[in-house]
Amino acid sequence: MKFELLNHIMRCIVLSAVQIFVLNNIALFDFATPYLFLFFIIALPLKIPNWALLSVAFLSGLTIDVFTSTPGMHASACVTVAFIRPFLLELISPREGYGSGNPPLIRSFGLQWFLTYSGILVVFHHVVLFMIELFRFSELHRLFGKAFVSALFTILLMVIIQYFNQSKKSFE
């Protein structure tokens, strides 16, 4: 139990550092930025209490906000994702159920399930984040375009990380 908690803390620290120091400086075609730190929230255990999920998501988003000078934007988008996560998990649950202790990753439930699960959460996060950033309805086409391309980039990185670490237990 203590090792699992330490594993989650290390994942949060590593993903936040990669986000702050590397990925925030990458802009694909000056349009899309991957937000890989979301993998921390997406990969949290299925049985985590809602209050803990919301708290961890808020702190994770706030950490990114502090280092990127985006007051509350990431925190609010992360809390929104944490809020809809339990409903989404219930909606897309496998026929045999989730079982106990399986993390919501590709090796536990398969690529198709993970792409559905992470795709919905990442797109939702990006739409909320960019809606707060743009804050006007006149640029909806830009908002959805930026959210979609950034989400594809983010999900691609999440899948690559999982396949890269498939032999290791570090992200489980």
Helix H, strand E, coil C: the string for the chain is CHHHHHHHHHHHHHHHHHHHHCHHHCCECCCECCCCCHHHHHCCCCCCCHHHHHHHHHHHHHHHHHHHCCCCHHHHHHHHHHHHHHHHHHHCCCCCCCCCCCCCCHHHHCHHHHHHHHHHHHHHHHHHHHHHHHCCHHHHHHHHHHHHHHHHHHHHHHHHHHHHCCCCCCCC
Higher pLDDT, 27 or 109: 109
- Evaluate if residue 88 carries a pLDDT over 90: yes
99 vs 81: CA distance, rounded Å: 23
Q: Are 158 and 39 in contact (CB under 8 A)?
A: yes
Average pLDDT over residues 84-101: 83
Q: What is the tens place of the pLDDT at every residue in 117-158?
A: 999 999 999 999 988 888 777 778 788 888 898 899 999 999
Structure confidence at residue 19 (pLDDT): 80
Structure confidence at residue 118 (pLDDT): 94
Q: Report pTM.
A: 0.87
Average pLDDT over residues 35-59: 90
Give the whole-number percent of the chain exceeding pLDDT 90.
36
Q: Are 126 and 147 in contact (CB under 8 A)?
A: yes
Structure confidence at residue 170 (pLDDT): 45
Structure confidence at residue 1 (pLDDT): 52
Q: Are 35 and 154 in contact (CB under 8 A)?
A: yes
Residues in the chain: 172
